[in-house]
Structure 1
Amino acid sequence: MDAAKRRTGAGRRRAVAAAALVVLLLTFLAVGNVRAWAGRLLIRNDAPQRADLIVVLGGDFYGSRVVTAAELARRGYAPYALISGPPYQGIPESDLAIEFLAKRGFERRLFAGYPNTARSTIEEADVLLKEIRRRGARSFLLVTSNYHSRRAGLVFRLLCPACRFRVIAAPKAEYQPESWWLDENERTLFWREFGKLVLTPFACLGRYQPG
């Protein structure tokens, strides 16, 4: 009986501690400057440097991700951009992205598509790292949306600690780190991405790839 009471008491204390932590976090985020800091926490944006390859994550085949990568390729930061192509209505996003960029005046030689069936950032990183090695690239620029950049960089680092890469955050009108809490859609985006960022180290366990 005493042991059961102790277990019950310990469980209650953990529940109270967890609730207190949630309240503390919400209070912390209620302050404007802190909310802006939290908004910026999702973003990693390194200065671009010359690399062997530009890698574009899927999910934005007609927006700032592919345009940012195209501009980097046109400016000579890498010979070409490898565009990830998870399926969109049965068509690889990479095919749609290259058509979109060609219509905007970018040369097709600047792009290579990589169709795949990845359904998450971790799955995408897993298949892309294998393709990057197959192509002999020793360094790369990783391009994704600003709100996704911190988590994407963490995923690639956890999966391949020895890899040499820099993360380039493409600007997104849908996410403003200095005022995300003022818009319902941005609040939803922030909390979803923040939760995924926290869980990323656990989700990546067992997926290490040698550099």
Structure 2
Amino acid sequence: MKHGHANPGELGRILLNLIILLFFVIFSALLYLVRRPILRYTAESWIIEDPLDRADAVMVLGDDNFYADRATRGAELFREGKASVMVASGRRLRPNAGIAELMEHDLVERGVPRDKIVRFAHDADSTLEEAQALARLAKERKWHSAIVVTSNFHTRRARYIF
């Protein structure tokens, strides 16, 4: 082999590598261009929203979301008359404070009267444990139906658990 000249086998490998690289670049660019519809479809497949009838209570599951999205949705349901009782559910963080107190505060800020809110502090570490604790509360209060408010991406899991 002479220096400076590639043999046909090397040229073929170089050309193949360039074609693969070009394909990867074009494919990546196309994925980037259609990312929003793909992500939207994927996200929507996880979100479940059932038609809502009136219930004995609206149970807002505990969260630590800075914007209090669950409390906002729970307050909307209260204003729509879906239930006359709101449950501000949340994990205890300290002996006298926790997520339930924050949730109650957020619901009051969004127009739910304090006397319509049941603050429900618990020690649950999972959605399943929270569901079990809320089931005991519902049994004690003789509630037969409830609307469960959670984050959009947790709806599929919540439906399975509740």
Check if 1:109 corresponds to 2:115. yes
Structure 2 residue identity aligned to 1:38? T
Q: Secondary structure in 2 aligned to 1:86?
A: strand
Identity, in percent, stands at 34
Name stretches of at least 5 consecutive residues in structure 1 with no aligned partner: 1-29, 157-211
- State the shift of 1:88 in Å: 3.3
* Aligned residue number for residue 24 of structure 2: none
* Aligned residue number for residue 71 of structure 1: 76
* Aligned residue number for residue 46 of structure 2: 42
- State the shift of 1:119 in Å: 0.5
- State the shift of 1:35 in Å: 4.7
- State the shift of 1:75 in Å: 2.1
- State the shift of 1:151 in Å: 0.6
- State the shift of 1:92 in Å: 2.4
Q: Secondary structure in 2 aligned to 1:106?
A: coil
Spell out the pairing of 1:161-180 with structure 2 (5 A cutoff): none
- State the shift of 1:87 in Å: 1.9
Q: Cα deviation per residue 1:151-190 (whole Å; 9 max; x = unaligned)?
A: 111111xxxxxxxxxxxxxxxxxxxxxxxxxxxxxxxxxx
The TM-score with structure 1 as length reference comes to: 0.54
Check if 1:86 corresponds to 2:82. no
Q: Cα deviation per residue 1:104-150 (whole Å; 9 max; x = unaligned)?
A: 44311231111100001111111111111111111111100101111
Structure 2 residue identity aligned to 1:93? I
The TM-score with structure 2 as length reference comes to: 0.69
- State the shift of 1:34 in Å: 5.4
Name stretches of at least 5 consecutive residues in structure 2 with no aligned partner: 1-30
Q: Secondary structure in 1 aligned to 2:62?
A: coil
Query: Aligned Cα RMSD in Å?
Result: 2.1
Q: Cα deviation per residue 1:189-210 (whole Å; 9 max; x = unaligned)?
A: xxxxxxxxxxxxxxxxxxxxxx
Structure 2 residue identity aligned to 1:147? F
Q: Which runs of 4+ in 1 moved over 6 A?
A: none
Q: Secondary structure in 1 aligned to 2:150?
A: strand
Corresponding residue pairs, total: 127
Structure 2 CA distance for partners of 1:36 and 1:101, relative to 1, 3 Å: closer
Q: Secondary structure in 2 aligned to 1:126?
A: helix
* Aligned residue number for residue 148 of structure 1: 154
Q: Distance in 1 between matches of 2:109 and 2:134?
A: 26
Structure 2 CA distance for partners of 1:50 and 1:133, relative to 1, 3 Å: same
Q: Distance in 1 between matches of 2:75 and 2:108?
A: 10
